[in-house]
Copies of this chain bind each other. A is one copy, B any other.
Amino acid sequence: MKNTGTIVLEKFDSKILKGNPLGDPSEREFPVYLPPSYGKTDNKFPAVFLISGFTGKGIMQLNESFLSENIKQRLDRLISEKKMKEMIVVMPDCITKYGGSQFINSEATGNYEDYIIKELVPFIDRKYKTINSSNSRAICGKSSGGYGSVVLAMRNPDVFGLMCSTAGDMCFEYCYMPDFPKFITDIEHYGKGHKAVENFIKKELNYNQPKPRSFHNIINTIGMASCYSPNMKGAKAKGYNFDLPFDLHTGELDVKVFERWLKHDPVRMVNKYAGNLKKLKLIYLDAGIKDEFNLHIGARIFCDKLKQKKIKFIHEEFNDGHMSVQYRYDRTFQLISDAL
Protein backbone atom coordinates (compact mmCIF):
# COMPACT_ATOMS: atom_id res chain seq x y z
CA MET A 1 0.00 0.00 0.00
CA LYS A 2 1.79 3.11 -1.17
CA ASN A 3 -0.70 5.65 0.05
CA THR A 4 -1.05 5.15 3.77
CA GLY A 5 -1.66 7.31 6.76
CA THR A 6 0.73 8.08 9.60
CA ILE A 7 0.63 7.38 13.33
CA VAL A 8 1.99 10.17 15.52
CA LEU A 9 2.63 9.21 19.13
CA GLU A 10 1.45 12.40 20.76
CA LYS A 11 2.30 13.48 24.29
CA PHE A 12 0.25 15.87 26.36
CA ASP A 13 0.67 16.97 29.95
CA SER A 14 -2.73 17.69 31.49
CA LYS A 15 -3.34 20.38 34.08
CA ILE A 16 -6.70 18.84 34.85
CA LEU A 17 -5.27 15.42 35.67
CA LYS A 18 -2.35 16.86 37.63
CA GLY A 19 -2.45 15.57 41.20
CA ASN A 20 -5.31 13.17 40.52
CA PRO A 21 -6.24 11.07 43.55
CA LEU A 22 -5.01 7.75 42.18
CA GLY A 23 -1.57 9.08 41.36
CA ASP A 24 -1.98 8.28 37.69
CA PRO A 25 0.33 10.25 35.35
CA SER A 26 -0.91 13.60 34.11
CA GLU A 27 1.26 13.29 31.02
CA ARG A 28 -0.07 10.67 28.64
CA GLU A 29 1.15 9.35 25.33
CA PHE A 30 -1.49 8.52 22.76
CA PRO A 31 -1.65 7.83 19.03
CA VAL A 32 -3.07 10.19 16.45
CA TYR A 33 -3.78 8.83 12.98
CA LEU A 34 -3.22 11.29 10.17
CA PRO A 35 -4.79 10.26 6.87
CA PRO A 36 -2.73 9.71 3.70
CA SER A 37 -3.14 13.18 2.18
CA TYR A 38 -2.69 15.00 5.49
CA GLY A 39 -0.07 17.72 5.15
CA LYS A 40 0.18 17.34 1.41
CA THR A 41 -2.35 20.12 0.81
CA ASP A 42 -4.01 22.75 2.98
CA ASN A 43 -7.03 20.54 3.52
CA LYS A 44 -8.57 20.28 6.94
CA PHE A 45 -10.03 17.05 8.18
CA PRO A 46 -12.81 15.84 10.44
CA ALA A 47 -11.58 14.47 13.76
CA VAL A 48 -12.78 11.28 15.39
CA PHE A 49 -12.04 10.56 19.04
CA LEU A 50 -11.86 6.78 19.36
CA ILE A 51 -11.96 5.92 23.05
CA SER A 52 -11.02 2.57 24.54
CA GLY A 53 -12.80 -0.08 26.57
CA PHE A 54 -12.20 -0.79 30.25
CA THR A 55 -8.54 -1.66 30.99
CA GLY A 56 -7.66 -0.25 27.57
CA LYS A 57 -5.98 2.89 26.28
CA GLY A 58 -5.39 4.37 22.86
CA ILE A 59 -2.01 2.86 22.27
CA MET A 60 -3.45 -0.67 22.51
CA GLN A 61 -5.35 0.02 19.29
CA LEU A 62 -1.95 -0.49 17.64
CA ASN A 63 -1.51 -4.02 19.00
CA GLU A 64 -0.99 -6.62 16.32
CA SER A 65 -2.69 -9.99 16.05
CA PHE A 66 -3.10 -12.78 13.49
CA LEU A 67 -5.54 -12.00 10.68
CA SER A 68 -6.92 -8.98 12.52
CA GLU A 69 -6.00 -5.42 11.58
CA ASN A 70 -4.81 -2.90 14.08
CA ILE A 71 -6.33 0.56 13.83
CA LYS A 72 -3.78 1.91 11.36
CA GLN A 73 -4.17 -1.02 8.99
CA ARG A 74 -7.94 -0.76 9.30
CA LEU A 75 -8.14 2.97 8.61
CA ASP A 76 -5.66 2.75 5.74
CA ARG A 77 -7.75 0.02 4.14
CA LEU A 78 -11.10 1.72 4.70
CA ILE A 79 -9.76 4.94 3.17
CA SER A 80 -8.07 3.24 0.24
CA GLU A 81 -11.25 1.26 -0.48
CA LYS A 82 -13.19 4.57 -0.35
CA LYS A 83 -15.36 3.18 2.43
CA MET A 84 -14.60 6.26 4.49
CA LYS A 85 -13.34 9.78 3.89
CA GLU A 86 -9.96 10.83 5.18
CA MET A 87 -10.10 11.76 8.85
CA ILE A 88 -7.87 12.38 11.79
CA VAL A 89 -8.39 9.74 14.48
CA VAL A 90 -7.34 10.53 18.05
CA MET A 91 -7.00 7.66 20.52
CA PRO A 92 -6.76 9.11 24.04
CA ASP A 93 -5.39 7.45 27.14
CA CYS A 94 -7.94 7.76 29.95
CA ILE A 95 -6.95 4.66 31.86
CA THR A 96 -6.61 4.75 35.64
CA LYS A 97 -5.10 2.59 38.33
CA TYR A 98 -8.54 0.98 38.70
CA GLY A 99 -8.83 0.11 35.02
CA GLY A 100 -10.65 3.09 33.55
CA SER A 101 -12.31 6.45 34.06
CA GLN A 102 -15.46 5.81 32.01
CA PHE A 103 -14.39 9.21 30.52
CA ILE A 104 -16.32 11.11 33.17
CA ASN A 105 -15.39 13.38 36.04
CA SER A 106 -15.01 11.66 39.38
CA GLU A 107 -13.57 12.84 42.65
CA ALA A 108 -12.02 9.42 43.08
CA THR A 109 -10.19 9.15 39.77
CA GLY A 110 -9.89 12.56 38.12
CA ASN A 111 -11.86 14.77 35.78
CA TYR A 112 -11.53 12.82 32.57
CA GLU A 113 -14.54 14.37 30.88
CA ASP A 114 -13.01 17.80 31.42
CA TYR A 115 -9.66 16.44 30.25
CA ILE A 116 -11.14 15.41 26.91
CA ILE A 117 -13.49 18.34 26.38
CA LYS A 118 -11.39 21.20 27.77
CA GLU A 119 -7.88 20.05 27.05
CA LEU A 120 -7.57 17.32 24.42
CA VAL A 121 -10.09 18.62 21.90
CA PRO A 122 -8.59 22.15 21.91
CA PHE A 123 -5.06 20.72 21.85
CA ILE A 124 -5.85 18.61 18.79
CA ASP A 125 -7.55 21.54 17.08
CA ARG A 126 -4.55 23.75 17.78
CA LYS A 127 -1.94 21.27 16.67
CA TYR A 128 -3.61 19.49 13.76
CA LYS A 129 -5.51 20.61 10.68
CA THR A 130 -8.95 19.69 11.96
CA ILE A 131 -12.27 21.13 10.95
CA ASN A 132 -13.06 22.83 14.23
CA SER A 133 -16.80 22.22 14.45
CA SER A 134 -19.02 19.78 16.29
CA ASN A 135 -20.45 18.77 12.93
CA SER A 136 -17.04 17.46 11.96
CA ARG A 137 -16.08 15.96 15.29
CA ALA A 138 -17.14 12.48 16.30
CA ILE A 139 -16.68 10.32 19.35
CA CYS A 140 -16.88 6.55 19.22
CA GLY A 141 -15.76 3.41 20.97
CA LYS A 142 -16.80 0.02 22.20
CA SER A 143 -17.71 -1.26 25.65
CA SER A 144 -16.65 1.44 28.14
CA GLY A 145 -15.58 3.46 25.09
CA GLY A 146 -19.14 3.17 23.81
CA TYR A 147 -20.38 4.34 27.19
CA GLY A 148 -18.06 7.34 27.16
CA SER A 149 -19.12 8.22 23.62
CA VAL A 150 -22.81 8.22 24.53
CA VAL A 151 -22.33 10.22 27.70
CA LEU A 152 -19.86 12.78 26.36
CA ALA A 153 -21.87 13.47 23.21
CA MET A 154 -25.06 13.70 25.27
CA ARG A 155 -23.56 16.29 27.55
CA ASN A 156 -21.41 18.10 24.98
CA PRO A 157 -23.30 18.21 21.69
CA ASP A 158 -21.49 21.43 20.86
CA VAL A 159 -18.21 19.50 20.95
CA PHE A 160 -19.16 16.11 19.51
CA GLY A 161 -21.85 16.23 16.85
CA LEU A 162 -21.59 12.55 15.97
CA MET A 163 -21.55 9.58 18.29
CA CYS A 164 -21.21 5.83 17.82
CA SER A 165 -21.34 3.22 20.54
CA THR A 166 -20.60 -0.46 20.07
CA ALA A 167 -21.78 -2.48 23.06
CA GLY A 168 -21.62 0.56 25.34
CA ASP A 169 -22.26 0.01 29.06
CA MET A 170 -25.92 0.74 29.81
CA CYS A 171 -28.87 -0.64 31.76
CA PHE A 172 -26.72 -1.14 34.84
CA GLU A 173 -28.96 -3.70 36.54
CA TYR A 174 -28.26 -6.06 33.61
CA CYS A 175 -24.64 -5.23 32.81
CA TYR A 176 -23.13 -4.66 36.27
CA MET A 177 -25.44 -6.11 38.92
CA PRO A 178 -24.88 -9.79 38.00
CA ASP A 179 -21.24 -9.28 39.05
CA PHE A 180 -22.06 -8.10 42.57
CA PRO A 181 -22.72 -11.49 44.17
CA LYS A 182 -19.59 -12.90 42.52
CA PHE A 183 -17.60 -9.98 43.91
CA ILE A 184 -18.68 -10.96 47.43
CA THR A 185 -17.52 -14.54 46.99
CA ASP A 186 -14.27 -13.55 45.27
CA ILE A 187 -13.20 -10.72 47.55
CA GLU A 188 -13.35 -12.97 50.62
CA HIS A 189 -10.07 -14.52 49.54
CA TYR A 190 -8.47 -11.19 50.49
CA GLY A 191 -9.92 -10.81 53.97
CA LYS A 192 -13.05 -9.38 55.54
CA GLY A 193 -14.98 -6.19 54.86
CA HIS A 194 -13.19 -3.05 53.70
CA LYS A 195 -9.86 -4.63 54.53
CA ALA A 196 -10.41 -7.24 51.83
CA VAL A 197 -10.93 -4.55 49.18
CA GLU A 198 -7.89 -2.65 50.40
CA ASN A 199 -5.82 -5.84 50.30
CA PHE A 200 -6.95 -6.64 46.78
CA ILE A 201 -5.91 -3.17 45.64
CA LYS A 202 -2.51 -3.50 47.27
CA LYS A 203 -1.85 -7.07 46.22
CA GLU A 204 -3.21 -7.22 42.69
CA LEU A 205 -3.10 -3.74 41.17
CA ASN A 206 0.47 -4.02 39.97
CA TYR A 207 2.47 -5.79 37.32
CA ASN A 208 2.97 -8.95 39.36
CA GLN A 209 1.73 -12.02 37.59
CA PRO A 210 -0.20 -14.25 37.42
CA LYS A 211 -3.55 -12.72 38.24
CA PRO A 212 -6.29 -14.89 39.79
CA ARG A 213 -9.35 -15.81 37.73
CA SER A 214 -11.51 -13.50 39.79
CA PHE A 215 -9.34 -10.51 38.89
CA HIS A 216 -11.46 -9.18 36.05
CA ASN A 217 -14.71 -9.43 37.93
CA ILE A 218 -13.34 -7.62 40.97
CA ILE A 219 -11.50 -4.89 39.10
CA ASN A 220 -14.54 -4.23 36.95
CA THR A 221 -16.73 -3.50 39.96
CA ILE A 222 -14.01 -1.45 41.67
CA GLY A 223 -13.42 0.51 38.48
CA MET A 224 -17.08 1.36 38.08
CA ALA A 225 -17.49 2.30 41.75
CA SER A 226 -14.52 4.68 41.48
CA CYS A 227 -16.32 6.44 38.62
CA TYR A 228 -19.96 6.32 39.74
CA SER A 229 -19.82 6.45 43.55
CA PRO A 230 -16.63 8.16 44.71
CA ASN A 231 -16.30 8.80 48.43
CA MET A 232 -13.28 10.87 49.38
CA LYS A 233 -14.37 11.35 52.97
CA GLY A 234 -14.64 7.66 53.57
CA ALA A 235 -11.21 6.96 52.11
CA LYS A 236 -9.33 7.16 55.36
CA ALA A 237 -11.55 4.77 57.25
CA LYS A 238 -11.99 2.35 54.39
CA GLY A 239 -8.63 2.39 52.71
CA TYR A 240 -10.17 3.24 49.33
CA ASN A 241 -11.99 6.24 47.99
CA PHE A 242 -15.31 4.95 46.69
CA ASP A 243 -18.50 3.27 47.88
CA LEU A 244 -19.43 -0.20 46.76
CA PRO A 245 -23.13 -0.64 45.96
CA PHE A 246 -23.64 -3.58 48.28
CA ASP A 247 -22.93 -4.78 51.78
CA LEU A 248 -19.47 -6.33 51.82
CA HIS A 249 -20.52 -9.26 53.96
CA THR A 250 -24.05 -10.21 52.96
CA GLY A 251 -23.91 -8.79 49.44
CA GLU A 252 -27.23 -7.03 49.93
CA LEU A 253 -27.70 -4.22 47.42
CA ASP A 254 -27.06 -0.78 48.92
CA VAL A 255 -29.91 1.01 47.20
CA LYS A 256 -28.60 4.49 47.98
CA VAL A 257 -25.21 3.84 46.45
CA PHE A 258 -26.68 2.03 43.48
CA GLU A 259 -28.94 5.01 42.84
CA ARG A 260 -25.80 7.12 42.52
CA TRP A 261 -24.65 4.66 39.86
CA LEU A 262 -27.98 4.84 38.07
CA LYS A 263 -27.61 8.59 37.62
CA HIS A 264 -24.81 7.69 35.23
CA ASP A 265 -26.80 5.03 33.37
CA PRO A 266 -27.39 6.20 29.77
CA VAL A 267 -30.85 4.60 29.62
CA ARG A 268 -31.77 6.79 32.57
CA MET A 269 -30.14 9.95 31.20
CA VAL A 270 -32.09 10.20 27.95
CA ASN A 271 -34.91 12.28 29.40
CA LYS A 272 -32.61 14.86 30.93
CA TYR A 273 -30.47 15.24 27.82
CA ALA A 274 -33.16 14.78 25.16
CA GLY A 275 -32.63 18.32 23.93
CA ASN A 276 -28.92 17.73 23.48
CA LEU A 277 -29.41 14.39 21.82
CA LYS A 278 -31.69 16.02 19.24
CA LYS A 279 -28.81 18.25 18.19
CA LEU A 280 -26.59 15.33 17.23
CA LYS A 281 -26.01 14.66 13.53
CA LEU A 282 -25.40 10.96 14.10
CA ILE A 283 -26.42 8.60 16.88
CA TYR A 284 -25.40 5.04 16.20
CA LEU A 285 -25.61 2.10 18.59
CA ASP A 286 -24.93 -1.53 17.97
CA ALA A 287 -24.18 -4.64 20.03
CA GLY A 288 -23.82 -8.37 19.52
CA ILE A 289 -26.88 -10.46 20.30
CA LYS A 290 -24.70 -12.76 22.40
CA ASP A 291 -23.13 -9.94 24.41
CA GLU A 292 -22.02 -11.50 27.69
CA PHE A 293 -22.81 -8.28 29.55
CA ASN A 294 -26.28 -7.98 28.00
CA LEU A 295 -25.34 -4.74 26.30
CA HIS A 296 -27.56 -5.55 23.32
CA ILE A 297 -30.44 -5.28 25.75
CA GLY A 298 -29.10 -1.95 27.01
CA ALA A 299 -28.85 -0.64 23.44
CA ARG A 300 -32.43 -1.69 22.71
CA ILE A 301 -33.72 0.09 25.79
CA PHE A 302 -31.69 3.22 25.01
CA CYS A 303 -32.94 3.34 21.42
CA ASP A 304 -36.49 2.74 22.55
CA LYS A 305 -36.23 5.80 24.76
CA LEU A 306 -34.80 7.85 21.88
CA LYS A 307 -37.75 6.75 19.78
CA GLN A 308 -40.21 7.85 22.45
CA LYS A 309 -38.54 11.26 22.38
CA LYS A 310 -38.60 11.27 18.56
CA ILE A 311 -34.83 11.49 18.37
CA LYS A 312 -33.22 10.02 15.23
CA PHE A 313 -30.81 7.15 15.61
CA ILE A 314 -29.42 4.10 13.85
CA HIS A 315 -29.54 0.81 15.74
CA GLU A 316 -27.98 -2.46 14.62
CA GLU A 317 -27.36 -5.87 16.10
CA PHE A 318 -24.80 -8.41 14.98
CA ASN A 319 -24.29 -12.09 15.59
CA ASP A 320 -21.43 -12.11 18.08
CA GLY A 321 -20.50 -11.62 21.72
CA HIS A 322 -18.71 -8.81 23.54
CA MET A 323 -15.08 -9.61 22.80
CA SER A 324 -12.98 -9.40 19.62
CA VAL A 325 -15.46 -7.24 17.74
CA GLN A 326 -13.02 -4.60 16.45
CA TYR A 327 -14.34 -5.38 12.99
CA ARG A 328 -17.40 -3.36 13.94
CA TYR A 329 -15.23 -0.22 13.64
CA ASP A 330 -15.65 -0.62 9.86
CA ARG A 331 -19.33 0.10 10.29
CA THR A 332 -18.68 2.95 12.72
CA PHE A 333 -16.26 4.77 10.44
CA GLN A 334 -18.45 4.27 7.39
CA LEU A 335 -21.46 5.73 9.19
CA ILE A 336 -19.46 8.67 10.50
CA SER A 337 -18.11 9.24 7.02
CA ASP A 338 -21.59 9.12 5.47
CA ALA A 339 -22.99 11.49 8.08
CA LEU A 340 -20.28 14.14 7.83
Contact = CB atoms under 8 A, between A and B. Distances in A.
Interface residues of A, number: 52
Given A60-B63, A185-B296, A68 B251 contact: no
B63 A64 contact: yes
A320 interface: yes
A210 B67 contact: no
Contacts of A174: 177-178, 180-181, 251
B95 A205 contact: no
A182 B184 CA distance: 23
Given A171-B252, A250-B300, A63 B66 contact: no
A250 B304 contact: yes
B207 A69 contact: yes
A289 interface: yes
B178 A301 contact: no
Interface in A166-184: 171, 173-174, 177-178, 180-182, 184
Given A178-B178, A181-B294, A185-B290, A67 B300 contact: no
A295 to B, nearest CB: 9
Contacts of A304: 247, 249-250, 252
A173 B253 contact: yes
Interface in A60-74: 60, 63-69, 73
Interface string A291-327: 0001011001100100000000000000010001111
Contacts of A289: 185
A289 B181 CA distance: 10
Nearest to A210: B320
A300 B249 contact: yes
Interface string A176-218: 0110111011000000000000000000011101110000000
Contacts of A300: 249-252
Which 8 A-B pairs rank lowest in CB-CB distance, beginning with the nearest? Answer: A209-B327, A55-B66, A181-B294, A63-B63, A251-B297, A250-B300, A178-B178, A181-B297
Interface of A: 55-57, 59-60, 63-69, 73, 77, 95, 99, 171, 173-174, 177-178, 180-182, 184-185, 205-207, 209-211, 247, 249-253, 267, 289-290, 294, 296-297, 300-301, 304, 320, 324-327
Given A178-B178, A210-B325, 18 more contacts: A57-B64, A60-B63, A173-B253, A174-B177, A174-B178, A174-B181, A174-B251, A177-B178, A184-B297, A185-B296, A209-B327, A210-B320, A247-B304, A249-B304, A251-B294, A251-B301, A252-B300, A252-B301
